[in-house]
Amino acid sequence: MTLLDGKKTSEAILQEIAHEVQAIKANGGKVPHLAAVLVGNDGGSVTYVNNKVLACDRIGFGSSLIRYEDTVTEQELLQKIQELNEDDNVDGFIVQLPLPKHINAEKVIESIDPRKDVDGFHPTNVGRMVAGLNAYLPATPAGILQLLQRYDIQTSGKHCVVIGRSNIVGSPMSILMSKAAYPGNATVTLCHRNTNNLAYHTRQADIIISAVGIPGLVTADMVKDGAVVIDVGTTRVQDASRKSGYRLRGDVDFDAVAPKCSFITPVPGGVGPLTIAMLMQNTLRAAKKEVYG
Ligand code: NAD
């Protein structure tokens, strides 16, 4: 069994990007710039956004963090997005989700210029991805593709079972794995909360990608010998032995499942660390105008 080390893979990607930024600077080119809009003070969101800004600093990107109280109006937010759309110094930007209930997140996402939508959430980028055109891919599925690729995992002709159909992970993952590309060319089954007999499907899987958020959902009897298991789930569970009072658990019953696998991601340290690296990669692609020209 090989552990898919997301931290190591993420570090390697960030270093590759940092080298490219150095070369851009040496040639007098435009330094990539990422802007992040954060509404409110939710602990998780604040940490995520701070980590994104820190990653920019580390690899030599410019960055700006725009913060609003959670009382900000939708109109104010849309106005800021318009400014960012028009700001030539900003190559890409994100609006950290979730947003407060009084703000229509779909409207906000649709107001982002698709050429700067480095989260890959705008319907134009989603549509381009589905059509097999060049697009910004959402960070988590893109990170999983990187893991599969960098560990040289065969996907062509394999049966891939994706569990979960969210717009940010499960749904795009199922589409990408079915594409005529590597990693891809798999036969894909997409399971979700209405799937009857989940175990029947997962037992046939060469590759399982679980993005649900139920700790221990995938048990050893649901996994065939030699399977590749990618665990996206990250749920906080109470743990009095930790200073924080909690620890993160994936969807997969890791201790029982891991011995059966050819490859498996740990939680934490598997898929999670790759998401920031993929956001940085999208921002670099935006600065180089690789997607829309
Ligand atoms: P979500 O929370 O929006 O939806 C969960 C999905 O699971 C739904 O599509 C639902 O149909 C499916 N589901 C629910 N119960 C099920 C069951 N019993 N059997 C089969 N399917 C079931 O999904 P999300 O936003 O993709 O998040 C999923 C998990 O992944 C969460 O734990 C989240 O924290 C985590 N996540 C991690 C990362 C990362 O970087 N590691 C990124 C995004 C999400």
Q: CA–CA separation, 252 vs 185, rounded Å?
A: 25
Ligand 1 neighbourhood includes 272 CB (under 6 angstroms): yes
State in Å: Cα 165 to ligand 1 middle.
7
Q: How far is CA 216 from CA 71, 227, 235, in A?
A: 38, 17, 10
Ligand 1 neighbourhood includes 211 CB (under 6 angstroms): yes
Which residues of the chain are under the pLDDT cut of 70? none
Which atom of ligand 1 sits closest to the CA of residue 270?
41
CA 131 to chain centre: 20
pLDDT score, position 211: 98
Quick one: 143 exposed, middle or buried, by C-beta within 10 A (0-12, 13-18, 19+)?
A: buried
Where would I find the beta strands (DSSP E) of 151-274? 159-163, 187-191, 207-210, 228-231, 235-238, 246-249, 263-264
Strand partners, 92: 34
Q: CA–CA separation, 112 vs 96, rounded Å?
A: 13
Residue showing tokens 């940085």: 280
State in Å: Cα 16 to ligand 1 middle.
30
pLDDT score, position 144: 98
Contact by Cβ (8 Å): 62, 31: yes
Ligand 1 neighbourhood includes 143 CB (under 6 angstroms): no
Q: Is the pTM for the entire model greater than 0.95?
A: yes
Residue showing tokens 């658990």: 249
List, in order of start, the domains of the chain with CATH numbers. 27-121 (3.40.50.10860), 139-273 (3.40.50.720)
pLDDT score, position 293: 84
Residue showing tokens 């906000």: 108
State in Å: Cα 149 to ligand 1 middle.
23
pLDDT score, position 23: 98
